Structure 1
Amino acid sequence: MATVTPTPSPRRWWALGALVASMLVLGFDLTILNVALPTMAEQLGATTGEQQWMADAYVVVFAALMLPAGLLGDRFGRRRMLITGLGIFLAGSLIGALAGDVTAVIAARAVMGVGGALVMPLALSVLPSLFGPDERGKAVGIISAASALGMPLGPIIGGWLLDRFWWGSVFLVNVPMVAIGVAACVFLLPETRDPSSPKVDTVSTALTATGLGALIYAIIEAPGRGWGDPLILALFAASALLLTGLVLRERRSVRPMLDMSLLAHRGFLLNAVAATLVTFILSGLLFVLPPYLQAVLGHDALGTGVRLLPMMGGLIVAARGAQPVVARFGPRAVVTAGLVVLAFAALLGSRTTAESGYGFTALWLSVAGVGFGFSVVPAMDGALGTLPADRAGSGSGLLMTLRQVGSAIGIALLGSLLAGAFRDRLDVTGLPAQAADTAGESVVAAHLVGGETGSADLLASANSAYVHGMGVVLLVCGAAALVSALLAGAFLPDAPRAETSEAPDMAVAEADARQ
């Protein structure tokens, strides 16, 4: 990627502040909606499937467009496309704040995904034009901290807003942050391009978006329609054909947008699978936990956000402390141990009952956070560390795309598993057919029906059914983590095989910042 050697100037740190604001808002937007979903489900009448789409619309679009968005910045100007991305993100936030129904919220989240796909890679790609090699590591570290800080801030900010304002405030909070970012980019960032970068392949972009969209739609709709429903089977088949077409097209391309040949590197492939699985589990847990904390345990939105901090705290502490442990014991041992800890936490969490209380939840959440941190960061570093220096950029892009796909599938698959288990266990005996159908849509809906009918039995059944469904999800997460730990221990290489250079180091740091 062509770069311009920067002239040291105090302005570059103000410019970094603009990028930090952009990354911070993307960071807390990944988690701010989770704590708002129970409130939105109550006020908009959203089913579990619709809540999954509210969360997944952003992630699916983000994953499909991140690579072509980065190439657009290289070709037409990174500052210009970064400002465009922030503007699109701002428009999506305004649409979400003013939305009056579930469809409008899903559309808003999709628009925000387009903006986020432009902002995320381009915020990192402008750093070489601002900072020399001696300062670049510090700059990437600051952006990494901003992105990491956004995740635990999301539920807290969202909870505080929901306790004082209407649910649209979780979208409206983006407006001042994005406006500051746009103004700072206009006045502080230099324009850079790389005309030699690959052209955006519109066919590959369309195959990615439609293939992922069909897959996610099938997974979310299957519990209600049935896994053998003709539409669901047709969507799975279409997704398989579209994604196979994507792989074949990219493999034949001279300058592929998504470099699938990187998966031939065993170390990259296995570490990428491990990092993707951890993201899959994390996204699923952040989807199923807020309704438990709010509907079952009865905490308000702010209390729910604060009670998610043990997992976030454990994740951040372990992520920051992973490197010394890797230096001492090797990446294979650390990734394997992290996955074992994660499996233990998930299996422990599956023992949660409706009467367990928050203390038990905080315990296994803390352990889960430690497992996440010690598995995902060494896995990402290990994936990129196995690649030659000239493949570090494309490897980083592929790795982050795989992680976003894992996030989308985690929300869809684990959310659908939860919905099916909840509906099967919920006792709606004696309720009218329409009320029974409504109660089966989600634990929030069941509480609303129970409140309207005065049925204490329905409320108790809803809590028990939801905790049962969450336990099933956690058992699946634990089993998946344990299988991954066994595979990591058996097959992961114990040290990077490529030459050490600044390029892969930068790619690793950039990938960390994009978490």
Structure 2
Amino acid sequence: MTQVSGPDPRRWWALGAMVASMLVLGFDMTILNVALPTMAQQLGATTGQQQWMADAYVVVFAALMLPAGLLGDRFGRRRMLITGLGIFLAGSLVGALTTSVGAVIAARAVMGIGAAFVMPLALAVLPSLFPAEERTKAVSIVTASSALGLPLGPIIGGFLLNHFWWGSVFLINVPMVAIGIAACAFLLPETRDPASPRVDALSTALTAAGLGSLIYGIIEAPTRGWSDALVVATLAGGAVLIAALVVRERRVPRPMLDMKLLAHRPFLLNTLAATLVMFILAGLMFVLPQYLQAVLGNDAFGTGLRMLPLMGGLMVAAKAGEPLVRRFGARGTISAGLVVLAFSAFLGSRTTVESGYGFTALWLSLTGLGFGFAMVPAMTAALATLPPARAGSGSGLLMTVRQVGSAIGIALLGSLLAGVFTDKLDTAGLPGAAADRAGDSVVAAHLVAAKLGDSRLAASADSAYVHGMDTVLLVCGVAALVTALLAAALLPGREEPEPAAREVTGAPVAAVDAMDA
């Protein structure tokens, strides 16, 4: 790997550009959620199409993150980082200017391609800029900016939607990404790692096709039925493709996804805990904005502000998590976080149409606490069990599996919500076309009710949506509680590092932990 001879005097300016880029990636994970009700109204998007608007970005991001990082290692990280930012910029422009649902989904997929380059390479260029004594601080700043983007997304999106058209949630990316491109071009040195594994085109294709098939089947199932031939075929095809990926990655000499790491039980269990938390959070961030807007009647900006208790709980957990891990160990902290997450989901599942926002704020705060106490210790503990020589492949696998968890969370929990909503919605007496349109989403039902002057339909839509959201939260609670019990029973307690970890010298594990926290 090429290294600069001394600290680059422009390194902090370059870091600022990386922060801007990572902020964009962070809030693009959540900014669209608060815009979905508006887009459903103005574009006529069904619940399934809204799921694809959110999932297209995440699926492509997850499928291409590892090969994109390897391309940067081989052909130049600065070059590929600029390429990724340029692709992200192009997708944002298309999303801002389009007027159709299909084009929005395509634009989100293009943005996912760009994000897959930016996320790993923004971290990979830091060692060439910062000496060892500054590196951990720099990595922490960049990763914190990505996390900060998550709560900023709904607030920024809500503000933009209150003042501009829905395309502004894409257009906001343009100036920040342009700054990132310019800074990369003028401030970053070029680095490579010719010894990195080659990009395996077949494994990349199997990942993308397998994930896409699975998620397509899950999203289409509520509309077509789980026994529909196309749904069964895509689910089975996706499972076969993912199985083929696992077999291939286990056999090739230098895999992109080091599946052998999953045979290491502490790494596997901590990774599963982190993935489940992302599964729940992604699903929650999909279903909650529509409740706050369509059922409680808040505008887009008000919806963003009302999601802040989730982030407030997360910030408290981030501050208190490290002392708790030192005192009680990772196993105790992760298990406790999952129990809090389960309790908050069970509490949220008691929501009724009359509950109001105060009750929502309470269980959202607890959700943030549980998320923070479970997620960061699980990720740190997963990587801490590996020798430094395998920390890179371990972090790549962990980040990929986390993104897969997010994508499946949106698809599966969104489909569960759609199925319950359609089943509980009372469309008796409506013309056939109006009944079909009302069943598309709670926003569509309110539009039909307003057009027909049917207050009964509006009330039924609110009740059906809340019932669906409660079902989703109940499933989340059960999943979190089962995972908490498994974590308490199976995760190792306080233990010494693996022998291999003590014997192999390399970058401090703490720096790797900071990179992936």
Give the TM-score band, short-chain normalised. Answer: over 0.9
Task: Specify whether residues 6 and 147 from structure 1 end up closer, same or farther in structure 2 by C-alpha distance, changes over 3 A only.
Answer: farther
> What SS does structure 2 have at the residue aligned with 1:363?
helix
Q: Residues of 1 paired with 2:494 and 2:16: CA distance? A: 36
The CA deviation string for residues 457-498 of structure 1, in whole angstroms up to 9 with x for no partner, is 001000000000000000000000000000000000123533
Which residue number in structure 2 is paired with residue 505 of structure 1? Answer: 510
How many angstroms apart in 2 are the aligned matches of 1:508 and 1:85? 24
- State whether residues 8 and 130 of structure 2, in contact with CA within 8 Å, keep that contact through their aligned partners in structure 1: no
Partner of 2:492: 493
1:98-123 CA deviation, whole Å, 9 max, x = no partner?
A: 11110000000000000000000000
Partner of 1:193: 192
User: By how many angstroms is 1:80 displaced?
Assistant: 0.2
**What is the CA-CA distance between 1:54 and the residue it aligns to?**
0.1
Cα distance in 1 for partners of 2:285, 2:168 equals 20
CA distance in 1, matches of 2:387, 2:239: 31
Structure-2-length-normalised TM-score: 0.98
What amino acid maps onto 2:515 in structure 1?
Answer: E
> CA contact under 8 A between 1:60 and 1:408: conserved in structure 2?
yes
Unaligned runs of 5+ in 2: none
Q: Which residue of 2 aligns with 1:221?
A: 220
The SS at the match of 2:29 is helix
Distance 1:316 1:282 in 2: 15
Alignment of 1:272-291 (within 5 A): 272-291=271-290
User: What's the offset of the Cα at 1:168?
Assistant: 0.2
Large movers: runs of 4+ above 4 Å: none
Q: How does 1:427-466 map to 2 (within 5 A)?
A: 427-466=426-465
Letter in 2 for 1:186: A
- Distance, in Å, in 2 between the alignment partners of 1:252 and 1:145 is 36
Q: Report the Cα distance in structure 1 between the residues aligned to 2:511 and 2:57, rounded to whole angstroms.
A: 27
The residue number in structure 1 matching 2:353 is 354
The residue type paired with residue 240 of structure 2 is L
Deviations 1:384-409 (A, max 9, x none): 01111100000000000000000000
The amino acid across from 1:301 in the alignment is: A
1:254 and 2:259 matched: no
Summarize the alignment of residues 51-70 of structure 1 with structure 2, pairs less than 5 Å apart: 51-70=50-69
CA RMSD between the two structures: 0.9
Q: Distance in 2 between matches of 1:281 and 1:495?
A: 27
The match for 1:116 is 115
Per the TM alignment, residue 142 of structure 1 is displaced from its structure 2 partner at its CA by 1.2
Deviation at 1:315, TM superposition (A): 1.3
Within-5 A mapping of 1:80-479? 80-479=79-478
The residue number in structure 2 matching 1:79 is 78
Aligned-partner SS, 2:199: coil
- The alpha-carbon deviation at position 316 of structure 1 amounts to 2.5
What amino acid sits opposite 1:233 in the alignment? Answer: V
TM-fit CA distance, 1:49: 0.2
In structure 2, what residue type is equivalent to 1:505? A
Question: Quick one: distance in 2 between partners of 1:379 and 1:116?
Answer: 24
Counterparts of 1:503 and 1:320 in 2: how far apart (Å)? Answer: 22
Query: Is the contact between residue 6 and residue 131 of structure 1 (CA under 8 Å) also seen in structure 2?
Result: no
2:474 aligned partner, one-letter code: L
Q: Distance in 2 between matches of 1:388 and 1:8?
A: 28
CA deviation digits over 1:193-214, x for unaligned, max 9? Answer: 0011000000000000000000
Q: Determine the C-alpha separation between the residues in 1 that align with 2:295 and 2:54.
A: 21
SS of equivalent residue, structure 1 residue 330: helix
Structure 1 distance, partners of 2:282, 2:241, is 25
Q: Which 5+ residue runs of structure 1 have no aligned equivalent?
A: none
Residue identity in the other structure for 1:123: A
- 1:3 Cα deviation (Å)? 5.0
How far is the alpha carbon of 1:5 from its aligned partner?
4.7
- Distance 1:360-1:3 versus aligned 2 partners, 3 A rule: farther
Q: Using structure 1 for the length normalisation, give the TM-score.
A: 0.98
1:361 alignment partner, SS class: helix
Encode CA deviations 1:26-59: one digit per residue, 9 max, x unaligned: 0111110000000000000000000000000000
Output the CA distance in 1 between the equivalents of 2:8 and 2:209: 45
Shift of 1:6: 4.9
1:167 is paired with a residue of what secondary structure? coil
Instruction: Give, in whole Å, the separation in 2 of the partners of 1:209 and 1:110.
Output: 11
CA deviation vs aligned residue, 1:42-93 (integer Å, no higher than 9, x gap): 0000000000000000000000000000000000000000000000000000
Alpha-carbon separation, structure 2, partners of 1:433 and 1:184 = 56
CA shift in 2, pair 1:6/1:280, >3 Å: farther
User: Matched residues in 2 for 1:365 and 1:312: separation?
Assistant: 9
Once residues 509 and 113 of structure 1 are traced to their aligned partners in structure 2, the CA distance between those partners, rounded to angstroms, is: 24
Q: How many residues align?
A: 511
